[in-house]
Amino acid sequence: MAKETLSFQAEVQQILDLMIHSLYSHKEIFLRELISNGSDALDKLRFEAKTNSQWKLSDEESSIRLTPNSDKKTLTIEDNGIGMNREEVQKNIGTIAHSGTKAFLENAQKIKENPELIGQFGVGFYSAFMVADKITLHTQRAGSSEGVLWESTGNGEYTISDVPRAGGHGTTITLHLKEFAAEEEVQDFTQEWVLKGLVKKYSDFIEYPIRMQVTRQEPVRDEEGKVKDNEYQDVIDDQILNSRKALWLQNPKEIKEDEYNQFYKDICHDWTDPLKTIHFRAEGMQEFSALMFIPSQKPFDFNSQEHKWGLSLYVKRVFIMDNAEELLPTYFRFIKGIVDSSDLSLNVSREILQQDRQVSAIRKALTSKILSYLKDELKDNREAYEKFWKTFGATLKEGIPGDHSNKEKIEKLCLFRSTKQDGFTTIEEYISRMPETQKEIYFLTGDHIDQLKNSPYIEAIEEKGYEVILLTDAVDEWVMGVFSDQDGKKLKSVTANDLELDSEEEKKAKEDKLKEDEKKYEKLTSMMQKALETNVSTVKLSSRLKSAPVCFVAGEQEMSARMERMMEAMGQKVPVSKRTLEINPDHPVIEKMMQIPESEQETWAEILYNQALLNEGSPIKDPVRFSQKLTQLMSKN
């Protein structure tokens, strides 16, 4: 058939205009798109050739080849894949039959801002017009001897003619590159180092070799083999630019630990080996491969707002994006690695990731796999798990208030310090040590483990022989508020005002004594109530204290003092709260207060109030005044 000049479909022309005139950034993605198209063509050939044994196929290795020419300002991308016939060329390039066209045009503004979205609409070929003012496509369908030559400058028309392709089946795309102004800062796509970098970034794990003839200089030698001074000659090598080593697609049983470690260092830019490796392939409704790593240490910016996290997403070995946060819940933000899906469309955007059901299914499967892995580690490799917990345990605990569907699984993975263990304990291990008389699981939160071990709040519990869980992570304030009952036992803060530690007989004896003490100290508690009314809701006698004269306790629905401090540190407005001040009637300080003048009692009350603040880990509002009052008291006595 003779050469024809045809017009683009109206929608195609709109797309071309957008490519040529409106997109200014991320021009480099054209190479990703064209290489991906070549990889797809090779995949299709491999599939269709199985049922078309009569085809005469090339004996050459299946590959994609880049040929830059800086003199002619051209870049050629060539594959020996399935190719296209005339009808397919017109359908796939001259017109657009798929539904993505309308969506592409409707999202034109988003695409201007994020050109990397181009491929998701199935129009990736047209991205080449961002860098080329003329494109020549020469293709030939496998099983056919008729080639098709297509050419366009993107001006509304294209020419098409029947010309056999010298290499047989496959496709050759030649880009006649534009001249860009210096201020546009567009890379020179005829430079070998530029192409190498782009292939490494976007297409390093493409299954087929991406080849390019690379020129290097070697020194010229004389007849005796000696190097001549300042004389060099060009030597052309045929190099493979991509590693093709998609480790995540290989059988885990065939991969050595050193290979995993090196791969982790390469993709995560870390100089240490990973702590743990999780490698698996999901099949069935969702098909994807995942190779994930738990680092051995936190990144320096792990707790900063600038920290970027999430897995790298690939679709059929083609790099799509880094830091795909949608693939994992935030409490797994320490996980590094790669997910490669066979089902997702190429170049899905972050916006689509948030809504895609397939992505939700992948996220659910990944979460389940990681939790299952951690469960096995806790059971079978306790020492390694404890090392993980020290580094990332606080982050994992965020899933308890944040992920209701996996809340109980995460609770079982938690490790705790306690008053009876030098190392860590699980909640199940804690319960196994509980005396029959203990009805609740006790815990105390604070900033430092030594401070908690010496806290007056735990004295009465320890006297009973009960164990207290000690918590120092900031997230514990939220976690313990929603932690599930364990084996029918509730978790109770030792700072709560309704601790039930005694038997009925013990309770009765203490109540009788407390009634006597209340009469004895009625005037003192009333005085303290009045003196501290600005900061304290109630002053009452207590039987919980042993070595300390006073402490604060909170009601079941009241915010803890530590929670208040944390909220204030985050800039949150915290309502002023007044807690109950409990007095130890058996402490010599309280007995001494009964013997001094009432005017001095108020000074003592203020000192005891500040002491209670220190006991719970809260700052004193006026430390200078406290120091002065304490000095005066010491001077008198």
Q: Is the pLDDT of residue 98 over 50?
A: no
Angle in degrees, CA 226, 229, 234, rounded to 5: 85
Query: Phi and psi dihedrals of 239, rounded to 5?
Result: -105, 150
CB 165 within 8 A of CB 150: no
Quick one: pLDDT at residue 185? 80
Distance CA 130, CA 137 (A): 16
Q: Is the pLDDT of residue 217 over 60?
A: yes
CB 23 within 8 A of CB 111: yes
Question: Where does residue 185 rank: exposed (0-12), middle (13-18), buried (19+ CB within 10 A)?
Answer: exposed
Give CATH 1.20.120.790 domain extents, the chain.
Answer: 504-636
pLDDT in tens, 14-32: 777 766 665 545 788 889 8
Q: Is the pLDDT of residue 111 over 60?
A: no
Q: Is the pLDDT of residue 558 over 70?
A: no
**Average pLDDT score over residue span 410-427:** 94
By C-alpha distance, which of 129, 131, 114, 225 is closest to 178?
A: 131
Q: Is the pLDDT of residue 120 over 50?
A: no
pLDDT in tens, 329-385: 999 999 999 999 988 876 667 777 777 888 889 999 999 999 999 999 999 999 999
Residue with tokens 């066979």: 342
Contacts of 395 (CB under 8 A, 6+ apart): 331, 333, 334
Q: Which amino acid is at 431?
A: I
pTM for the model stands at 0.69
Q: Is the pLDDT of residue 93 over 70?
A: yes
CB 158 within 8 A of CB 94: yes
Give CATH 3.30.230.80 domain extents, the chain.
Answer: 247-379
| CATH code that applies to domain 4-240 | 3.30.565.10
Give CATH 3.30.565.10 domain extents, the chain.
Answer: 4-240
pLDDT in tens, 262-273: 888 877 877 789
CATH among 3.30.1650.10, 3.90.120.10, 3.20.20.70, 3.30.230.80 for 247-379: 3.30.230.80
Residue with tokens 């695409």: 111
| HSE (side-chain half, CA atoms, 13 Å) at 148 | 22
**Average pLDDT score over residue span 192-209:** 90
CATH among 2.40.110.10, 3.40.640.10, 3.30.70.1280, 1.20.120.790 for 504-636: 1.20.120.790
Residue with tokens 């599939």: 47
Distance CA 66, CA 35 (A): 9
H or E, element range at 322: strand 318-324
Quick one: pLDDT at residue 21? 61
Q: How many CB atoms lie within 10 A of CB 84?
A: 25
pLDDT in tens, 369-402: 999 999 999 999 999 999 999 999 999 999 999 9
Quick one: pLDDT at residue 469? 96
